Amino acid sequence: MTPNLTWCLALGPFALAVAGLATGSAKSGQRQVGGGAAWIAGFALAMAAAAGLCVAVNGPLVTGTVGFAGVGLGFYVDTLAAIMFVLVAFVGLIVVLYSRNYLDGDRGQARFTKWLCLTLAAVLLLIVSGNLFQFALAWIATSLGLNKLLLFYPERQAAVLAARKKFLASRLGDLCLIAAMVLLHQAFGSLDYAVLFAGAEAMRVGGDIPAAIHAVAVLLVIAALLKSAQFPLHGWLTEVMETPTPVSALLHAGVINAGGFLVLRFADVISLSSPSMEILVIVGG
C-alpha cells in the first residue's frame, strides 16, 4: 500500500477529534448530540477494519514522519497496531452509542460526548503512531481527556478523589515517558519507530547495551505500570464507579490497556534490559 493511502486510513482519529470539537458546541439535552459522533465512530471503525485488512494482505503500513529528525507526524500500522486499532474502535463505537442513550436529556451530554470523542481520538492516534514523539503527545492527551470524563459529576467527591489520584499517577507516567523519549533521541538521533527498532536489534546482535538504554527500558516499564493502574497506584480505578458508566467501559476499552500496548510496542527496546524484564515479572506476575 502506498504511503498516501496509509495516510487516508489514519483519518479515523482525526475525524473523531473534529466530531468532539463540533459536539462541544452543540445544544445539550438532545438525542441528536451523539448522533453525529456515533456516525464518526462508525467511520473510525471502518478505517480500522480497512487497515487490518490491508496489513493482513500487504504487511505493515508505514509512512515517513512529516517533521524533523523523526519528530513529527507519521503512522506505523503493523499486526499489533491493526488488532488494537480495530478493538478500540469497535468498543469505542459501542461506548458512544451507549452514552447517547445513557445521558439522553442530561444537560451535560454535549460536554461528555465532546471529551469522549477526543479521548477516543487520542487513543487511536496513540495506536497508529509512527514515532515516539507522536505517541507521547497522544499518551498525554488520552490522560487529560479521561480526567475530564472522570470529573463529569464534580459534585461527587468520590469521583473527584479518583480523578485527582489518576491525575497524579498519570503525570508521573508522563515524566517517565518523556525522559525515555529524550534518552532515545540522544542514543539514536531519531524517534521514528523504524530507526529505534533497527537500532535496538543492532544492539541485541552486537551485545553492547549502553546504560542509557537500560534506563530507557526501566522508564518505559514504569510509565506502562502507572498507566495500567498497577499496585500500589491502583486505588483510583476502584473509585470510578461514581462516574458515568460509559467512562468505566472506555477505561477498559483502551485507556488502561495503553500501558500494555506501550510494553508490546517497545518490546524490542525493553527486552534489552534485564532489570526492566524483572520489574514486569514482579509486578505483572
pTM: 0.90
Report the pLDDT value the prediction gives residue 255, as an integer from 0 to 100: 62
pLDDT over 90 percentage in the chain? 34
Q: How far apart are CA 138 and CA 124, in angstroms?
A: 8
Report the pLDDT value the prediction gives residue 28, as an integer from 0 to 100: 47
Report the pLDDT value the prediction gives residue 134, as an integer from 0 to 100: 94
Give the pLDDT confidence of 76-111 residue by residue, as tens digits. Answer: 999 999 999 999 999 889 998 888 888 877 788 888
Q: How far apart are CA 275 and CA 9, in angstroms?
A: 38
State the chain's mean pLDDT as an integer: 84
Identify the band that residue 239 occupies on the pLDDT scale cut at 50, 70 and 90.
low
Is the confidence at residue 265, as pLDDT, over 90? yes
Spell out the residues 6+ positions from residue 251 whose beta carbon is closer than 8 angstroms to its own.
146, 237, 240
Report the pLDDT value the prediction gives residue 24, as an integer from 0 to 100: 59
Is the confidence at residue 172, as pLDDT, over 50? yes
Hey, what long-range contacts does 244-247 have (CB within 8 A, 24 or more apart)? 244/99, 244/102, 244/103, 244/112, 244/149, 244/152, 244/153, 245/98, 245/102, 246/95, 246/98, 246/99, 246/102, 246/103, 246/112, 246/116, 247/146, 247/149, 247/150, 247/152
More confident residue, 267 or 63: 267
